[in-house]
Amino acid sequence: MIKNIAVIFGDGIGPEVTQQSIKVLDTVAEKFGHQFNYAYCLAGAIAIDETGTPLPDETIDVCLKSDAILFGAIGHPKYDNDPSAKVRPEQGLLKLRKSLQLFANIRPVTAYSSLYHLSPLKSKVLEQVDLIIYRELTGGIYFGEKKTNEDQSWAYDGCVYTKEEVERIAHLAFQAAQQRKKKLTLVDKANVLETSRLWRKWVQQMAPQYPDVQLSFLFVDNAAMQLILNPKQFDVILTENLFGDILSDEASVISGSLGLLPSASVGFSNALFEPIHGSFSQAAGKDIANPLGSILSAAMMLDYFNLKEEAVLVREAVAWTIAHLFVTKDIDPINFYFTSTVGELICDYVSGRISGDINQENIELRKSTII
Ligand code: IPM
Ligand code: MN
């Protein structure tokens, strides 16, 4: 199989984690006889520095022509602390989502038993957690009308949703539930918001098309509480843009590190894969960032290409590194491995070069994983 992948390294730790995913994809390609071609393009603070805009038109063109997009991270502290900045790196990501119509953001949350100790939640709460969030990504308050007056004594963000926007992502969420534990929870604020009542109405109306899926509703304030009190009650969570943004960061507490969570943003004809963590500028260039969120996003890309066996193998390799605690500093601040070493270990596992015994000393010397 030949696939053309647009790669956007972006800012901060984006380049170094994405490099690991490329190494893993290349190893998969070699093992299974595929060819992945990469086209590198700019977005984020680096694009502002080099071109004056966070998303050059050329990047959109390359992405539109590609089969999928591998995305690192964008953001820079110099913009975070300056609310008056007119041009911001995040605008690049939002514009990319909108331009490519990536309306469904899919965020799986897994709890690894060897990492239970990292979570502030009790192991008993974490056992058997396996949930997935379907977050609407191109509508709602993120993209509504924005206004403010001259002296900024008031500001306004409008929130709009249409029946079509609700239905297209709800179909994907219902279908995901059918493949999983057959439970779908719509999270909204229908006791207060008109847009939430619209979501409820149309999702409810779709339910008879999916008779095998049990549909339930939860207000977002209660959902935020239930997600950490009893996360195993959830299978597929469907929600609008802002609620999904907040709940998915909250859900990362279940995995133990934000660095572990992958995501896929899909539309009708394109898809973008990115870790949910941000640019984490303080760690940039130090080879300490966790590459697993990006590598697991690459596994989602393989799923999207329908390369199921390949995706399973990459996930198995990730689980193997976690189980052996070949992990980065966010997970083990004392006995940690470098970003690039974790990437190499995963490649070695994927290519079948790890047969059981591993040369711990070589790994520690960052030389090789092979005996
Ligand atoms: C995310 C991020 C983005 C969002 C930011 C960077 C605009 O937090 O992907 O969750 O809010 O959607
Ligand atoms: Mn977010």
Residue nearest to atom 7 of ligand 1 (CA): 90
Pick from 93, 95, 240, 243 the residue to mutate for probing ligand 1's pocket: most ligand atoms within 8 Å of its CB: 93
The preferred substitution site among 69, 94, 277 for testing ligand 1, maximizing ligand atoms within 8 Å of CB, is 94
The secondary element (H helix, E strand) that includes residue 146 is: strand 146-148
For residues 192-220, average pLDDT: 98
What pLDDT is stored for residue 124 in this prediction? 96
Average pLDDT over residues 263-280: 95
Ligand 2: centre distance to CA 32 (Å): 34
CA–CA gap between residue 170 and residue 183 (Å, rounded): 13
Q: What is the pLDDT of residue 354?
A: 82
Residue of the CA atom closest to atom 8 of ligand 1: 245
Query: Is the C-beta atom of 245 inside 6 A of ligand 1?
Result: yes
Q: 163 falls in which pLDDT band (50, 70, 90)?
A: very high
Instruction: Note the pLDDT tens digit of each residue in 89-102.
Output: 999 999 999 999 99
- Is 249 catalytic? The answer is yes
Q: Among 189, 232, 303, 332, which one carries the catalytic annotation?
A: 189
**Neighbouring-strand partners of residue 39:** 6
Q: Which of 182-186, 231-235, 246-250, 308-312 has the lowest mean pLDDT?
A: 246-250
Instruction: Please measure the distance between the N-terminal and C-terminal CA atoms of the chain and give it in whole angstroms.
Output: 32
Q: Which CATH number fits domain 1-100+270-371: 3.30.70.360, 2.10.109.10, 3.30.43.10, 3.40.718.10?
A: 3.40.718.10
Contact 89, 77 (CB under 8 A): no
The confidence score (pLDDT) of residue 256 equals 86
Whole-number Å distance between alpha carbons of 364 and 75: 32
Q: What's CA 264's distance to the chain center, in Å? A: 6
**Mean pLDDT value of segment 31-45:** 98
Task: Answer whether 93 contacts ligand 1 (Cβ < 6 A).
Answer: yes
Strand partners, 109: 131
For residue 245, give the H/E element and its range: helix 241-255
Strand partners, 332: none
Q: Is 124 a catalytic residue?
A: no
Express the helix, strand and coil content of the chain in percent, nearest 5 each: 45, 20, 35
Contact 213, 177 (CB under 8 A): yes
Q: For residue 369, which of 327, 313, 326 has the smallest C-alpha distance? A: 326
Q: Is 235 in the pocket of ligand 1 (CB under 6 A)?
A: no
Q: What is the pLDDT of residues 119-135, one digit of tens each?
A: 999 999 999 999 999 99
Residue nearest to atom 9 of ligand 1 (CA): 276
- 330 Cβ inside 6 Å of ligand 1: no
Which residues neighbour 291 within 8 Å (Cβ) at sequence distance 6 or greater?
Answer: 16, 17, 20, 21, 328, 339, 342, 343
pLDDT for res 20: 98
75: left (phi over 0), alpha (psi -120 to 50) or beta: left
Q: Which helix (H) or strand (E) holds 50?
A: helix 45-51
| pLDDT score, position 368 | 41
Of the pLDDT bands very low, low, confident and very high (cuts 50, 70, 90), residue 361 is: low
Signed CA dihedral, 226, 229, 233, 237: sign only = positive
Atom 6 in ligand 1: residue holding the nearest Cα: 90
Active site residue 245: yes
Domain boundaries, the chain: 1-100+270-371, 105-257
Catalytic site residue 212? Answer: no
In the predicted structure, residue 72 carries a pLDDT above the cut 80: yes
Per-position b or e across 268-306, b if 16+ CB within 10 A of its CB: eebbbbbbbbbbbbebbeebbbbbbbbbbbbbbbbbbbe
| CB atoms near residue 368 (< 10 Å) | 14
Q: Is 287 touching ligand 1 by the criterion CB < 6 Å? A: no
pLDDT tens string 294-351 = 999 999 999 999 999 999 999 999 999 999 999 999 999 999 999 999 999 999 999 9
Residue from 79, 137, 245, 272 to probe ligand 1 pocket by mutation (most atoms less than 8 Å from CB): 245
Q: Is the CB of 96 under 6 A from ligand 1?
A: no
pLDDT of residue 369: 47
How many angstroms separate the CA atoms of 26 and 128, rounded? 32
Angle value at C-alpha 114, between 109 and 118, nearest 5 degrees: 70
Indicate the pLDDT class of residue 363, thresholds 50, 70 and 90.
Answer: low
Phi, psi of 104 (to 5 degrees): -120, 120
Classify 19 in phi/psi space as left (phi over 0), alpha (psi -120 to 50) or beta.
alpha
**CATH no., domain 105-257:** 3.40.718.10
Would the pTM count as exceeding 0.85? yes
Q: Is the CB of 90 under 6 A from ligand 1?
A: yes
Q: What is the mean pLDDT of the chain?
A: 94
State the Cα–Cα distance between residues 259 and 264, nearest whole angstrom: 15
User: Is 90 exceeded by the pLDDT of residue 81?
Assistant: no
Query: For position 179, what pLDDT does the model report?
Result: 97
* Helix, strand or coil, per DSSP, at residue 39: strand
Q: What is the pLDDT of residue 367?
A: 44
Three-state DSSP class for 348? helix
105-257 and 1-100+270-371 share a CATH fold:
yes
Question: Which residues are paired to 40 by β-bridges?
Answer: 7
What percent of the chain is predicted at pLDDT more than 90?
A: 89
Clarify whether 189 is annotated catalytic: yes
* pLDDT in the model for residue 80: 83
